[in-house]
Structure 1
Amino acid sequence: MNRAAAALSAVMLTAPLHAAAADVVAGAPSRLGVVIYRDPNGGDQGVAMIVETREVDLPAGASTLRFEGVADTLIPQTAAVQGLPAPVDERNFDYDLLSPGALVARSVGEQVRVVRTNPGTGRVSEEVGVLRSAPQGLLFETGAGIEALKCSGLPERLVFDRRPPGLSDRPTLSLRIVAPTAGRHRVVLSYLAAGFDWKANYVAQVSEDGRTLDLSGWLTLTNKTATSFPEAKTEVVAGRLARSDETRAPDVELRTVATDCWPTAPWWRRMTGYAAPPALNIPAPAPPMAMMERGLEEIVLTASRKAAQTELGDYKLYTVPDRSTVAANQTKQVAFLDKEGVAFERIYKVGHAGFDAGELTPALTLRLRNTEAQGLGSALPAGLATVMQTTAGRPMLVGEYRVEDTAVGLPVDLAIAGDRGVTAVMESLREGERTVAGKARRFANLKVTVTNTRSQPAQVEYRQSGYDEGFKLVSEDRRHALRENDPVWTLDLAPGQAASLRYEIEADAD
């Protein structure tokens, strides 16, 4: 045998060995971690970092390692595996789950059984055929020729004796690996998954004397996926995480099954394929992402122990104290804050933007100093605060306000309602245009008068916002402070007292 023939023989002998990769299913997770990052834009598009520890038994040589039961919203490009004995050659995320549409689509060319029932006699007949077309119209071939399902005039259904290869009832991440030797390995799989989010919710209970309040906080965790994570170490990260729009789960198209006898189906059904699925003898869970449309099925509250706060660089990390099940389609609330006797001030905030005159509406605001000396001193993640006031022994709703991320030492404002006990009127004393450094500028000399008609003293905080290009405060008759680059004046009014503020502003003319 010459050298070329020997080489060809070697290729022919070894090719099947390389092609036949063992199919290995990793064990169920022995340890789970779920870290939830909220949507940086304040929506409901948060993500979670899932960390799973599993045991795998790998044979020597090529094998396909399957991680079954991963999140159905797994973002494939973020998956990583540690602990394998060799590099990964290829990986795939199988999100085409077992469903009527996927089953018939993957069974084209395969043998099926057609079961018919005579409604008059109840007699059941069965015939073996080959599925030729699916899912937009089911055609099967028997000894009598090619037929369309539902065209015989009898109630009929298809029976599939086996599940098509590669069609799983659970989302699966598969890896191709060539192990140098056989052995058991403990591996750690980590990935990002969509469909998770968390928010902070606060309840402020104002005491009857109106001087202090009790502030409680809850972390509201949401899992909108079809996957549960039992006994997981659960954490949430507070802060604005940089995110890319490219980091998202694959778009999964729901494959529907058209079972009407062609061409008697309505035109819209023939064009869209919206029809009832055939009767199948294999359970068919909803495809991934479709589960997210069902809404949340359960709400779980736990307040036995509070979530602990730690530092994570510039972010805050809140850890649920005990391992907890993050169930599919569930909202879970975990207490993280419980402060009693928090001191606050009543501030009447008045805001004005631009140059227009008229009446202004002061907002009654509860200002908390986020310090231990004032009874607080905890970093507060952004969320909605509900303010309650105890009146005649009963708690009553006073208002709701969104709290932004607030570090220790900064004020926390809860603007709860407009108040008629303090009034504010803006007047324009003089306005027009002038040229400054060769550029046309619009100006206005303004006067705001604030009156306290209440029987108690009132502290008023007046803020002038400048949204116009080139906005500038030119003059004032009281000193101001800056808050987010806007001038702010504070006026302390006795009962029945009125006070005024005059200032001039200018901006680029239109």
Structure 2
Amino acid sequence: MSNRQHPFARIPLALALGGALQAGAADELRLDDSAREALGVTIYNEDLALVRDLRRVELAAGENRIAWRNVSAEIRPETALLSAPEGGGTLRLLEQNFDYDLLTPESLLQKYVGREIEVVRTDAEGERTRERARVLAANGGVVLRYDDRIETEVVGHLIYPDVPTDLRDQPTLVLHLETEEAGERALELSYLSGGLSWRADYVAELDPEHKGRMTLNAWVTLDNRSGVAYRDARLQLVAGELNQVRERVRAMKSIRFGVDMAEAAMPAREQLDAYHLYTLPRRTDLLNNQTKQVALFAAEAIPVERLLVLNGRQLGARNDDGWSRLPVRTTLSFVNDAAGPDMPLPRGVIRVYAQDSGGQAQFVGEDTIDHTPTDQRVTLTLGESFDVTARRRQTDLERIGDDTVELGFELELANARDTATTVEVRERISGDWRMLDESADHTKAAADLAVWRLEVPAEGRTTLTWRVRIER
């Protein structure tokens, strides 16, 4: 049905922050969660969600004031959009206000500055006395004027005649509508909200029988700090980086290890423009100040490569003899293809576990991955090797001309293990360079990267030397 037939089908809301309708609460029609027919929440990675809230309301002919209660306290009012998906007659939006000044003892007292209240005191015998006073100030305390004095401390308790109409017990959107026809209507409010986020958390377990394989379980971690609960909601998750004018990133909690996944609970995935959309298979409750975890996928027998890596240009503590100790990093890599997860991997943390001799899972390191499409290699840096160490020194520097130098280096690898191991040495070389001499063949992995793979014998040492000419 076209917008021409139903002019209220899509109306952007320009909300007046903190405003309140002049009419009293008695003139309002309270639209609570009980009027809700459907709720959908699409959550993005960076503290952002799209809320779609469909409620049914009985409208009278003429003007109607609707208090749409329990909207997100982190709503971005300028993004709000109202629609009448079923049509049903002409509706005109006259005014709307987002009331986020919530009812608390402090806010109630501040609203009564300049007005009279009653102070009730009870003496030792239980006798109660009432005395009227005017609130002069309520900033960091209270100042009360009685008929014969001014006091800055309340002895007793305060009684207020009423609750001001511009104080709400929960965040409320107040709509002032006009319609020519009375009747029941379905209205959907959509808006962007902060306070909601999600991320992927991965648990990898190395196969104790096959060292070159692992299992990988992926979990979705949802976090709700928007000030309201979303009950019986259809949840969808978008993986990808959206450009936002205002961004706030909230830290997420990690998940526990060792939870089995139910295949039927896996979210459905589809392409959404430049992003990936995951739809949870069933409706769920996402309460305020709650972290919820949902299974994303499980993959078994993923081929992995375990490798020690040395970045040669890292700065280390140099000894008097010119040697610098460099860390040797333990890495784990796999390809996101048909032999692995074979699905887009949302950004998150992969935590890796290995079994000890008693069969107990032990944590061996973690690393963050970015959004990773299929057929891409994922490399995780888990920590620093204890038994394999390295030291490096510059052995020569010769200037050939104003823009050309020749450099010589020596790298020594020591292996305290009782088995041989392989170390990949990665040397960044800036400028136009050419290798003049080397004790082992290198691979030019990139324009500025020379890579050697060296075998280090058990309880032994291996030395790599090279000389390179660089033109700058």
Shorter-chain TM-score range = 0.7 to 0.9
Question: Within the alignment, does 1:474 sit opposite 2:437 as a pair?
Answer: no
In structure 2, distance between residues paired with 1:360 and 1:237: 41
Q: Which residue of 2 aligns with 1:125?
A: 129
Judge conservation of contact 1:117–1:156 (CA < 8 Å) in 2. Answer: yes
Question: Within the alignment, does 1:385 sit opposite 2:350 as a pair?
Answer: yes
Question: Within the alignment, does 1:403 sit opposite 2:369 as a pair?
Answer: yes
Alpha-carbon distance change, 409 to 505 in structure 1, aligned in 2, over 3 angstroms: farther
Decide which of 352, 360, 364 is 2:330's aligned counterpart: 364
- Unpaired stretches in structure 1, ≥5 consecutive residues: 1-18, 40-45, 249-291
Tell me the CA shift for residue 432 of structure 1: 5.8
In structure 1, distance between residues paired with 2:444 and 2:185: 63
Judge conservation of contact 1:200–1:220 (CA < 8 Å) in 2. Answer: yes
Partner of 1:101, secondary structure, is helix
Give the counterpart letter for 1:351 in structure 2. N
Tell me the CA shift for residue 229 of structure 1: 0.5
1:90-123: CA deviation from partner (whole Å, max 9, x where unpaired): 332111100112112222344422211113x221
Q: Which residue of 1 aligns with 2:138?
A: 134
Give the counterpart letter for 1:341 in structure 2. A
Q: Which residue of 1 aligns with 2:11?
A: none
Tell me the CA shift for residue 500 of structure 1: 2.5
Judge conservation of contact 2:425–2:454 (CA < 8 Å) in 1. Answer: no
Tell me the CA shift for residue 137 of structure 1: 5.0
In structure 2, distance between residues paired with 1:435 and 1:180: 89
In structure 2, distance between residues paired with 1:96 and 1:60: 30
In structure 1, distance between residues paired with 2:431 and 2:369: 29
Residues matched between the structures, number: 423
Tell me the CA shift for residue 75 of structure 1: 1.4
Q: Which residue of 2 aligns with 1:446?
A: 409
Q: Which residue of 2 aligns with 1:36?
A: 43
- Unpaired stretches in structure 2, ≥5 consecutive residues: 1-21, 317-322
Judge conservation of contact 1:149–1:156 (CA < 8 Å) in 2. Answer: no
Tell me the CA shift for residue 486 of structure 1: 4.8
Q: Which residue of 1 aligns with 2:222?
A: 221
In structure 2, distance between residues paired with 1:68 and 1:130: 32
Q: Which residue of 2 aligns with 1:276?
A: none
Give the counterpart letter for 1:163 in structure 2. V
Partner of 1:372, secondary structure, is coil
In structure 2, distance between residues paired with 1:435 and 1:149: 83
Give 1:62-461 correspondences, 5 Å limit. 62-83=63-84, 85-119=90-124, 121-135=125-139, 137-140=141-144, 144-145=147-148, 147-148=150-151, 150=153, 155-209=155-209, 210-245=211-246, 303-304=261-262, 305-353=265-313, 358-373=324-339, 375-392=340-357, 393-431=359-397, 444-450=407-413, 454=417, 456=419, 458-461=421-424
Give the counterpart letter for 1:182 in structure 2. A
1:167-204: CA deviation from partner (whole Å, max 9, x where unpaired): 11010112333334333221211112222222221111
Judge conservation of contact 1:25–1:56 (CA < 8 Å) in 2. Answer: no
TM-score (norm 2): 0.79
Judge conservation of contact 1:370–1:377 (CA < 8 Å) in 2. Answer: yes
Alpha-carbon distance change, 434 to 23 in structure 1, aligned in 2, over 3 angstroms: farther
In structure 2, distance between residues paired with 1:441 and 1:86: 78
Tell me the CA shift for residue 490 of structure 1: 4.1
Q: Which residue of 2 aligns with 1:12?
A: none
Tell me the CA shift for residue 63 of structure 1: 3.2
Tell me the CA shift for residue 230 of structure 1: 0.5
Tell me the CA shift for residue 53 of structure 1: 0.8
Alpha-carbon distance change, 358 to 172 in structure 1, aligned in 2, over 3 angstroms: same
1:243-263: CA deviation from partner (whole Å, max 9, x where unpaired): 112x78xxxxxxxxxxxxxxx
Give the counterpart letter for 1:66 in structure 2. A
Tell me the CA shift for residue 331 of structure 1: 0.6
Identical positions, percent: 27
Tell me the CA shift for residue 422 of structure 1: 3.7
Tell me the CA shift for residue 321 of structure 1: 1.7
In structure 2, distance between residues paired with 1:20 and 1:398: 64
Identify the range of structure 1 (168-177 vs 496-505) with the bigger mean alpha-carbon deviation.
Answer: 496-505
Partner of 2:108, secondary structure, is helix
Tell me the CA shift for residue 55 of structure 1: 1.3
Q: Which residue of 2 aligns with 1:15?
A: none
Give the counterpart letter for 1:74 in structure 2. I
RMSD: 3.4
Judge conservation of contact 1:350–1:360 (CA < 8 Å) in 2. Answer: yes
Judge conservation of contact 1:104–1:135 (CA < 8 Å) in 2. Answer: no
Alpha-carbon distance change, 494 to 141 in structure 1, aligned in 2, over 3 angstroms: closer
Partner of 2:304, secondary structure, is strand
In structure 2, distance between residues paired with 1:341 and 1:419: 25
Alpha-carbon distance change, 214 to 159 in structure 1, aligned in 2, over 3 angstroms: same
Judge conservation of contact 1:491–1:499 (CA < 8 Å) in 2. Answer: no
Judge conservation of contact 1:445–1:505 (CA < 8 Å) in 2. Answer: no
Identify the range of structure 1 (161-170 vs 130-139) with the bigger mean alpha-carbon deviation.
Answer: 130-139
Q: Which residue of 2 aligns with 1:42?
A: none
Tell me the CA shift for residue 427 of structure 1: 2.9
Give the counterpart letter for 2:455 in structure 1. L
